[in-house]
Amino acid sequence: MAFSSPKVGIISQARMGSTRLPGKIMLEAKGKKLLQYHLERLHWSGYPVIIATTTLSQDDIIVEFCLQHNIPYYRGDEENVLSRFYLCAKQFKLDIIIRVTSDCPLIDGLLIKQAVEEYIAIGEENVYASNCLVRSYPRGFDFEIFSFALLKEAYTQASLPAQKEHVTPYLYQNTSGNIVIRHFVNDQDASRFRITLDTPEDYKLILELIETYYAETLYAAEIIKLLADHPELSLINAHIEQKKI
């Protein structure tokens, strides 16, 4: 089934709670909140961006930020993030969803646009696509693409707590047996680099990238080259291990 003029939207999950770096998305670089960099770079894609946050009072600050910057938002369950995504996508009538997380301030919207165009060209709503199952991009450029039909299937069929907390395991584990997995892979393996935001060391690197090297203006390939050319930068957070699902 080919997509006919699909409504595409990016949903970024955001919350203030973080075990290793609380309030991380509201930290600043050059006087601007990291959440703002995240959103500005996502808008390079040309697709609408929606923040999916929780109903917890601690996340009121995220809603206030969205209202100040005219960013659409949805508030849903803290633990059942799958339901939050499904109800958000349903409210905004999305046909194709790009899932990202707000702790990626240097994410590349043009990279996402290229991937979505390839996804639409495939023309099958049972396809789940991402650049993070086969990891060749640095953490911090992660995205997943899937149809509303697949999201609805996951929402109605997923039963395991991990499937509900992490949104997409039902899809990429091909739980139903009917899901086709597609991988977006970089030409060169840059998976050793880490530009996501989860620890003080991550924040130190992102600060250095933005304040010294203007990384907020660079595309993914340029940031990867920057890290490769300056190995001392990636050493800042090279020892950090990603939290396991």
Cβ neighbours of residue 225 closer than 8 Å, sequence gap 6 or more: none
Query: Among all chains, which residue has been given the structure tokens 């995205």?
Result: 143
Cβ neighbours of residue 187 closer than 8 Å, sequence gap 6 or more: none
What is the chain's pLDDT, residue by residue, as a tens digit (245 residues)?
567 789 999 999 999 988 788 899 999 999 999 999 999 999 999 999 999 999 999 999 999 999 999 999 999 999 999 999 999 999 999 999 999 999 999 999 999 999 999 999 999 999 999 999 999 999 999 999 999 999 999 999 999 999 999 999 999 999 999 999 999 999 999 999 999 999 999 999 999 999 999 999 999 999 999 999 999 999 999 888 766 65
CB atoms within 10 A of CB 86: 22
CA distances from 145 to 17, 98, 183, 184 (A): 25, 5, 10, 10
At 99, give phi and psi (nearest 5°). Answer: -95, 125
The answer to whether the beta carbons of residues 148 and 93 sit under 8 Å apart is no
CA distances from 102 to 38, 81, 131, 212, 230 (A): 7, 14, 16, 22, 26
Q: What is the pLDDT of residue 1?
A: 54
As a whole number of angstroms, the distance between CA 114 and CA 112 comes to 5
At 244, give phi and psi (nearest 5°). Answer: -80, 145
At 152, give phi and psi (nearest 5°). Answer: -65, -40
Q: Which of 114, 129, 132, 116 lies closest to 182 in space, CA to CA? A: 129
DSSP H/E element including 74: strand 73-76
pTM: 0.95
As a whole number of angstroms, the distance between CA 216 and CA 39 comes to 11
Cβ neighbours of residue 94 closer than 8 Å, sequence gap 6 or more: 7, 8, 9, 11, 148
Give the SS3 label for residue 51. strand
What are the structural domains, with CATH classification, of the chain? 8-189 (3.90.550.10)
